[in-house]
Amino acid sequence: MSVRHTGTIAALAATALALAILSGCAPAAQSERPQVHVTTNILGDVVAELAGDEIDVTTLMAPGADPHSFELSARQAAEMRSADLIVANGLGLEEGLSQHVTAAAEEGVAIFEAGAAVEVLAYAEGAGDDPHFWTDPAQMIRVVDALTPLLAGLAADARGAERVREAAADYRADLAALDEDMTAAFAPIPPSQRALVTNHHVFGYLARRFDFDVLGAAIPSGTTLAAPSAADLQGLVTAIDAAGVRTIFAESSQPDRLMQVLAEEAHRDVAVVELLTESLAPHGEEGDTYLTMMRTNTARLAAGLSR
């Protein structure tokens, strides 16, 4: 090979390397698809199923996050204000995000609160509305039905809107099948064993749908930010003993030490079973989607209450 050719090849290689470096340093092109930001990872998974490739969906809460205490970074808060739509749980769940949702709304961002689409259940203690509607798949169907027209309206064209509606119809069928499977799984549990005890009140909607009794919670509140009193815990231990409860349930987003103490204080063999309640599992683990989370919880609830 001649020296002249070698020099030419070297120059081309240098140019290619420089272009690659410049390309790597350049900011990524902004997607031209509509931008939807979702507060919780449970709703984020559902919205992504409906949106498909027609809409960019950003989920703010990472798997394992506690929605009651989760807070945004400055970057996330700024990006929310440029979204085309924000999907929030509502009903007081996202205690650390409410100010950011309000700020985005004041700047003209459309807000969809899923809680406005459900048959809201009040806490038994009368301490406001229960935001944990997703424990009842029939309520999630109501959310899907209300959200679908908004997402279809964001699609770039008529075909994209139709794809959103088709995805929603398929997912709605999945939710209906989930509801049927949960009904079948819980059917064999005798009435005397249908008592639920958890970290805090999160299963009211499931109890209403599938005829369970919420005996109590270690934290007698709808938020994990509250703290139980000694009298609260002693009263719950007494109720566990009186009802003959054999299994109590700890939430994956909260340490189960409090539930272990309850089990130790009860005068019987009481198992502590972990459930996924307010957050999905990390990607690749059991319960990393809403549908698999609900099926995982159903299996654990049915097994635990059948002991």
Question: Judging by DSSP bridges, how do beta strands 121-122 and 129-130 pair with one another?
Answer: antiparallel
| pLDDT surpassing 90 at residue 207 | yes
Q: CA 115, 212, 254 angle in degrees (round to 5)? A: 60
> Distance between terminal CA atoms of the chain?
81
Question: Both tokens of residue 125?
Answer: 């203690």
Query: Over the stretch 13-59, which tens digit does the pLDDT of each residue have?
Result: 444 444 444 444 444 445 689 999 999 999 999 999 999 999 999 99
pLDDT for the residue numbered 30: 54
Query: Over the stretch 222-281, which tens digit does the pLDDT of each residue have?
Result: 444 445 556 666 777 777 777 788 888 877 655 556 666 666 777 667 788 889 989 999
Report the C-alpha gap between 274 and 177 in whole angstroms: 24
E strand or H helix that includes residue 49: helix 41-51
| pLDDT surpassing 60 at residue 220 | no
pLDDT for the residue numbered 3: 40
Residue with token string 């798949």: 137
Report the C-alpha gap between 243 and 201 in whole angstroms: 18
Query: Over the stretch 169-199, which tens digit does the pLDDT of each residue have?
Result: 999 999 999 999 999 999 999 999 998 888 7
User: What average pLDDT score do residues 65-69 get?
Assistant: 82
Report the C-alpha gap between 154 and 161 in whole angstroms: 8
Contact 218, 229 (CB under 8 A): no
- 207 SS3 class: helix
| pLDDT surpassing 90 at residue 12 | no
Mean pLDDT of the chain: 84
Phi and psi (nearest 5°) for 260?
A: -65, -40
Q: What percent of the chain has pLDDT over 70?
A: 78
pLDDT for the residue numbered 247: 86
Provide the pLDDT confidence category of residue 144 given band limits of 50, 70 and 90. very high
Q: Which of the pair, 69 or 279, is modelled with greater confidence? A: 279
Report the C-alpha gap between 163 and 51 in whole angstroms: 8
Report the C-alpha gap between 148 and 139 in whole angstroms: 14
271 DSSP β-pair partners: 247
